[in-house]
Amino acid sequence: MLIEGQDLSVSIGGRRVLESETISCKPGMMTALVGPSGCGKTTLLHCLGLLLPVDQGRILIDGDDVTKYSTVARRHFWRDHAAFILQDYGIMDDESIAFNITMGVSLLGKRVTGNQARLVEVLEQTGLQGRENELASHLSGGEKQRLALARAIYKDASILFIDEPTASLDAANRKKVIELFSDFAMRGRTVIVATHDSEMINACGVRHEVGS
């Protein structure tokens, strides 16, 4: 899916935190949102993911204006098309790895065919095979990152929104998650990633300076 932001402005608590931001994120590509701390990367990511309303400007998905989507329409977008890997990964520590991978789909009511076979495939892709019955609290930071990606792949999301995916990962895990995101994009998905990490930025086809 092509996702575009045109002249987006956002104020929080009476302060302008995003000003006339225009961006185009194409399917099959990873787009990096870059810039100094506080420039508005997370804010822009949240606006494009319809998590945060904009004060001015338009958001288009495949050419359709979704800026004024109703709550129901936004929920359908999240359920059917989007996956989010935000800073806390949204993982339920007291549940199993398998539950964490499949829960978004179950809770949001999206049907996925061949569930068990699909789960096995996703576990293998993300290096979590054989661990599906372990509690998520047993996982390291890098493994949780892969678990969050496993959930997005399992869901078969068209657009992946990612915030600071490689912060606090060691070199090996960083390389692994960057490969997984690249692979996800190469299968025609739209990947948008807010990041400071130069390795992550280099792996992205498009680099968008926020606030410049």
Among 1, 2, 17, 103, binds ligand ATP (CB under 6 A): 17
Task: Tell me which residue of 9, 48, 8, 11 sits closest to 26, measured CA to CA.
Answer: 48
Give the contact letters, 149-188, x = binds to ligand ATP (CB under 6 A), - = no. ----------------------------------------
CB distance 193 to 31 below 8 Å: yes
Q: Strand 159-163 and strand 190-194: pairing?
A: parallel
Among 83, 194, 200, 203, binds ligand ATP (CB under 6 A): 194
Chain length of the chain: 212
The nearer residue to ligand ATP, 12 or 92, going by C-beta atoms, is 12
CB of 141 to ligand ATP, least distance (A): 17
Among 31, 43, 102, 158, binds ligand ATP (CB under 6 A): 43
Taking the C-alpha atoms of residue 189 and residue 158, their distance in angstroms, rounded to an integer, is 5
The nearer residue to ligand ATP, 65 or 199, going by C-beta atoms, is 199
Taking the C-alpha atoms of residue 127 and residue 125, their distance in angstroms, rounded to an integer, is 6
CB of 19 to ligand ATP, least distance (A): 11
Among 7, 22, 38, 62, binds ligand ATP (CB under 6 A): 38
Give the contact letters, 18-37, x = binds to ligand ATP (CB under 6 A), - = no. -----------------x-x
Crossing angle between the packed helical segments 141-155 and 115-125, to the nearest 10 degrees: 140
CB distance 191 to 83 below 8 Å: no
